[in-house]
Amino acid sequence: MNLAEQFLLTPEGLKIGDIEQTLASIMLPGMDYADCYFQHASFEGWALEDNKVKSGSYQIDQGVGIRAISGEKTGFAYSDEISHSALKDAALSARNIANAGQNGSQAIRLNSRAYPALYSDVVPISSLADADKVALLQKLNRHARGLDPRVQEVSVSLAGGREVILIAASDGTFCADVRPLIRLNVSVIVEENGRRESGSMGGGGRLAYSYFFEQNRAEQYAEEAVRQALVNLEAQAAPAGEMTVVLGSGWPGILLHEAIGHGLEGDFNRKGTSAFSGRIGDTVAAAECTVVDDGTLVDRRGSLTIDDEGTPTENTVLIENGVLKNYMQDKLNARLMNMQATGNGRRESYAHLPMPRMTNTYMLPGKHDPQEIIASVEDGVYAANFGGGQVDITSGKFVFSASEAYRIKNGKLSHPIKGATLIGNGPDVLTRVSMVGNDMQLDSGVGMCGKEGQSVPVGVGQPTLRIDGLTVGGEG
């Protein structure tokens, strides 16, 4: 809290009383809720391509967003200046949403609260000298190129930074968070007999850059990128049509994010626009499936000590033994649905409105050995790695695209197949899960989720899964 106040309020001479007054000026009769979100973010990026670290960038962004809620109505304004006058202007603008009475504003008393931090307050940018960042990128370039003569091009990117946020709300919420975030990515292009393929791997979390130097992580990203690209050199056309699909552990958990996660966000369910609306208590998955959204994992990319409304994050059970248990909620939707906020109120920045978003979404392990799962399939596809995905929450249709996949024949992995999009129906895909592996794994920390134009970092995870019937979009 001290750090946040020192960063966000002190330079402009703002005191807690000023914020209380701002909130009080909004909370006229008829208003239900108001909050101020102060943020200071500084991020850097370094990129190597064509054997050189040719560019780097640094950005600083700070400001305050003010929100006023009356019933289902929200007024929102923000400023990239944190000052008395900016607060006043934004508050006036935000409260215009409702024709509130001019008299009888209530006094606001902020109660400062601290929660045990899930990550350190390290400053990633200064956790490593710039020359050492450049040297790391160069080392990975050499390492990747040295792995195989077919490696033609290597791109490496390093990004990191820190956000300091302070949240004050009319319900007395007053808390701060310091959020570091780092990410390292290696992409390669390999070429053989005129055929070119690519592979990429990365990782990160709410950590200092030293993370990449531990356990040879950075080198492993390079090795994994090269391995994937070389596998794809051998890939044959993927099949087309509905078939048995085995999904690998870890990042393939993007299945849960798309097929289940978005459809369980509170806003869509309050409005009745989700294919999961009104289905709490229904069986939506095989009995072996338990899926959670857990913002409380230490140092993970999708984790938050508090969400962007000051609610501490939770480990929320979404599906328990196949039965739909909970939605993910922010304060607005929880209040309107008469439910509890689950610590899922997130926003891209002070210039964006919060809404229900995922944190780390994953499925708990089952009992099957992954080898046993593959051995059980006579004819199907094993998808080990994925790119991005997308969902239509109303029809429930979702897609995700494999970047490394194999044909399974008679219980054995056969040749690699080209990346293909898989499409399914969210409300019934998990009912087709026939085996859940015992190898639950979280992704390596590169996920980014987009909703209504806002991007936030997220995590996913799952054990190896067998799904009896998913449509594979190959060329035949």
Partner 1 sequence: MSNSALPSHSDNPLTDREQTLYDISERVFEFTRKANCSAAELLISQVSGAEYSVRNGEPETIERNQDKGLEIRVFIGDKTGSASTTDFSDAAIESTVKAAASIAGVTEGDACQKLAPPELNPRAFPDLELHHPHRYSAEELSQFALEQAIICEAAALNADSRISNTEGASFSAHEGISLARNSNGFTGFSRGTRYGLSCSVIAGQTDNMQRDYWYDSKRKLETLDSPVLIGEQAAKRTCQRLNARKITTCRAPVILDASIAPGLLGHLMSALAGNAIYKKASFLAGKMDDIIFPEHINIVQHPHLKQGMGSAVYDAEGVATRQQHYIDQGRLVNYVLGLYSACKLGMQTTGNAGGVRNLSISHDNISRTDLIKRMHSGLLVTELMGFGVNTVTGDYSRGAAGFWVENGEIQYPVHEITLSGQLSVMYKGINGVANDTNLKGNIHSGSILINQMTIGGS
Distance CA 203, CA 186 (A): 9
59 binds partner 1 (CB under 8 A): yes
Region from 128-136, 214-222, 299-307, 439-447 binding partner 1, contact rule CB under 8 A: 128-136
Token pair listed for 198: 């690519």
Counting contacts by CB under 8 A, is residue 423 touching partner 1?
A: yes
Which lies closer to partner 1 via its Cβ, residue 172 or residue 469? 469
Task: Write the single-letter amino acid at 204.
Answer: G
From 3, 6, 15, 55, residue interacting with partner 1 (rule: CB under 8 A): 55
Rounded to a whole number of angstroms, the minimum distance from the CB of residue 455 to partner 1 is 14
Out of 19, 37, 63, 218, the residue judged to bind partner 1 by CB under 8 A: 63
Which residues in 303-322 contact partner 1 (CB under 8 A)?
Answer: none
Nearest residue (CB) to partner 1, 98 versus 440 = 98
Smallest gap from Cβ 351 to partner 1, in A, equals: 7
Told to check if 376 binds partner 1 by CB under 8 A, we report no
**CA dist., res. 134 & res. 278, Å (int):** 53
Site for partner 1 in 71-90 (CB under 8 A): 72-81, 90
Toward partner 1, which CB reaches closer, 59 or 210? Answer: 59
Q: Pick from 6, 10, 57, 455: which binds partner 1 (CB under 8 A)? A: 57
Among 389, 437, 445, 459, binds partner 1 (CB under 8 A): 389
Task: Find the part of the chain contacting partner 1 (CB under 8 A) among 113-121, 295-303, 434-442, 465-473.
Answer: 465-473
- The answer to whether 253 contacts partner 1 (rule: CB under 8 A) is no
Instruction: Scan residues 255-284 and list those touching partner 1 (CB under 8 A).
Output: 271-273, 275, 277-278
Q: Which long-range contacts (CB under 8 A, 24 or more apart) does 41-45 make?
A: 41/161, 41/162, 41/163, 41/164, 41/349, 42/125, 42/161, 42/162, 43/125, 43/159, 43/160, 43/161, 43/162, 44/125, 44/159, 44/160, 44/161, 45/157, 45/158, 45/159
Number of residues forming the site for partner 1 (CB under 8 A): 81
The answer to whether residue 50 forms part of the interface with partner 1 (CB under 8 A) is yes
CB of 206 to partner 1, least distance (A): 23
Binding window for partner 1 (CB under 8 A); candidates: 236-244, 305-313, 321-329, 365-373: 236-244
Q: Nearest approach, Cβ of 358 to partner 1 (angstroms)?
A: 18
Contact positions with partner 1 (CB under 8 A) in 171-230: 189, 191, 196-198
- The answer to the question of residue 455 lying near partner 1 (CB under 8 A) is no
By CB under 8 A, residue 91 contacts partner 1: no
426 binds partner 1, rule: CB under 8 A: no
Cβ at position 155, least distance to partner 1 in Å: 8
**Under rule CB under 8 A, residue 418 binds partner 1:** yes
Q: Answer yes or no whether residue 241 interacts with partner 1 by CB under 8 A.
A: yes
**Given 17, 111, 131, 410, the residue binding partner 1 (CB under 8 A):** 131
State which residue, 387 or 411, has the beta carbon closest to partner 1.
Answer: 387
Determine, following the binding rule CB under 8 A, whether residue 468 of this chain makes contact with partner 1.
no
397 belongs to the binding site for partner 1 (CB under 8 A) = yes
- According to DSSP, the β-strands at 360-363 and 459-462 are parallel
